[in-house]
Amino acid sequence: MKAFNIGDVIIATDGVGKNITDASMLIESVTMDSRQVKKGSLFVAIKGERVDGHDFINDCFSKGATAVLCDHIPEGVTGPCIEVENTVKGLQDLAKWYRESLNVKVVGITGSVGKTSTKEMVSAVLSEGFKTQKTIGNYNNEIGLPLTVLSIEEDTQVEVLEMGISDFGEMRVLSRIAQPNVCVITNIGECHLEFLHDRDGVLKAKSEIFEFMSEDAKIYLNGDDDKLRTVKDVKGIKPVFYGFNKGNDVTLTDSESLGLKGSKLKMHYKGEDLKATIHMLGKHMQANALVSFAIAKDMGLTDAQIKEGLAKAKTIDGRCNLIDYKGIGTIIDDCYNASPTSMKAALDTLVLAEGRKVAIMGDMFELGENSDSMHAEVGTYAANVGIDKLICVGENCKHMYEAAKKENKNLEISYFKSLEDLLSVLKTEVRDTDNIWVKSSHGMGFAKLVEALKER
């Protein structure tokens, strides 16, 4: 990041300096994790559900922290502190100030599903023409996004930010910090319905990304989504629609499946065609390629640069990550999150594999009052899509299991109430040569299952 000083923090946060003898002392990193503090750090003391960062302030000074952002100064603390009413709000204010100090173009990506994979592909393509940074890991919320912004290097030309929310008002906070020059919404699905109520609520919450976008911003929306298609004009800006249906601005005119190795695509935008190959799995990855193509084209990249970026794009652990098993089988690690839409997309891709196809699916969380019927809906879909075996894990997945069993009595189906129950008999449930897709909400802890499958 670009260094700034204690005085800048006081101004940006409207804080009160305490124990400060030299406001020009430089800050070269910002963290809320006391274990990551080093010389030159600003430590942000945040009170969480289990740990209060204020308890570690003296330890941070002993590690070389320049200053601490806090909401009170504990007894015995004598190092430089900037006191604010709320440290999360202070962190956000500092990130907003820092973003405004940079000459960087921000691409903000949100949506119910597909944010991370879209972010990975867009950043891979734009990296062919610009010094590009992106959200690392899951730093995409009201705390993670400001920390991501505060890590942007001074010479960065493009920052690709993943923006995740679960309630109304949260995207407004993120947009105020990010001030995106490019806005992407991947879809409006059935996620976080216990807070957002229905898909209209999801659209309203996601659309808050437009509130602080730049005046000359570009907007890219999935035109195959019925809710997004209703967005005709935002502050005088006409969206660019991408997707597979007729009427979109960016379309797929031809495709060839390479099985679990990806696909070859022919895309069309602004009267021009581009042939490219992607190695990220799933029909939704083809949609990601469409929006990546459009953004890169509008930002001036050449066809050669776009093709190279698309070919290089890879996913990350937990997000359709392809793992070779001893050269005879395949594990697809897709266990970071799950929704009915993404579950069905996973099944659609799994059937492209050569050999036996096994789906291990766990509970989907935060689906609200319709959770039971949504799990059953996925079960019915799985029963007809063409896989060889379905393994359902978790209390909610009992409804998936029962629906699939009722729909297709010939499909091999197993049910386990807990992950531990499955792990105890895992070797009898799958074969070494299987193609195994592992998917659930993050809280199910299926990363442990992926490791067990790799070690079996």
Sequence-ordered list of residues with C-beta below 8 angstroms from that of 280, at least 6 positions apart, any chain: 117, 120, 121, 262, 288, 313, 314, 315, 320
Residue 95 reports pLDDT greater than 80? yes
Looking at residue 365, the DSSP 8-state letter turns out to be: P
Of the candidate CATH numbers 3.30.70.100, 3.50.50.60, 3.90.190.20, 1.10.10.10, the domain formed by 321-455 belongs to: 3.90.190.20
Distance between CA atoms of 133 and 139, rounded to whole angstroms?
Answer: 13
Alpha carbon separation from 194 to 116, 197, 366, 369, 445 (Å, rounded): 22, 6, 6, 7, 22
Q: Judge whether 48 and 60 are in contact, CB under 8 Å.
A: no
What pLDDT is attached to residue 42? 98
Q: Judge whether 154 and 101 are in contact, CB under 8 Å.
A: no
What pLDDT is attached to residue 192? 63
Residue 74 reports pLDDT greater than 90? yes
Give the pLDDT mean for 317-326: 84
Q: Which of 27, 12, 35, 207 is nearest to 99 (CA)?
A: 12
Helices (H), 239-397: 283-298, 303-312, 340-350, 371-385
3-state secondary structure of 288: helix
What pLDDT is attached to residue 52? 96
Q: Which CATH architecture has domain 4-85?
A: 3-Layer(aba) Sandwich (3.40)
Residue 197 reports pLDDT greater than 90? no
Q: What is the CA radius of gyration of the chain?
A: 24
For the chain, domain boundaries: 4-85, 102-312, 321-455
What pLDDT is attached to residue 171? 95
pLDDT tens-place string over residues 124-178: 999 999 999 999 877 899 999 999 999 999 999 999 999 998 788 899 999 999 9
> For the chain, what is the mean pLDDT?
95
Amino acid in position 27: I
Q: Which residues pair with 160 in a beta bridge?
A: 107, 134
Q: Which of 25, 152, 36, 43 is nearest to 90 (CA)?
A: 43
Which of 180-194, 251-265, 383-397 comes out lowest in average pLDDT?
A: 180-194
Q: What are phi and psi of 160, to 5 degrees?
A: -105, 110
Which of 29-38, 104-113, 335-344, 386-395 comes out lowest in average pLDDT?
A: 335-344
Q: Judge whether 145 and 160 are in contact, CB under 8 Å.
A: no
Of the candidate CATH numbers 1.20.58.760, 3.20.20.70, 3.30.460.80, 3.40.1190.10, the domain formed by 102-312 belongs to: 3.40.1190.10
Q: What are phi and psi of 365, to 5 degrees?
A: -100, 165
Distance between CA atoms of 45 and 36, rounded to whole angstroms?
Answer: 13
pLDDT tens-place string over residues 282-301: 888 999 999 999 999 999 99
Q: Judge whether 132 and 205 are in contact, CB under 8 Å.
A: no
Strands (E), 193-288: 218-222, 240-243, 250-257, 263-269, 272-278
| Residue 399 in tokens | 């409804």
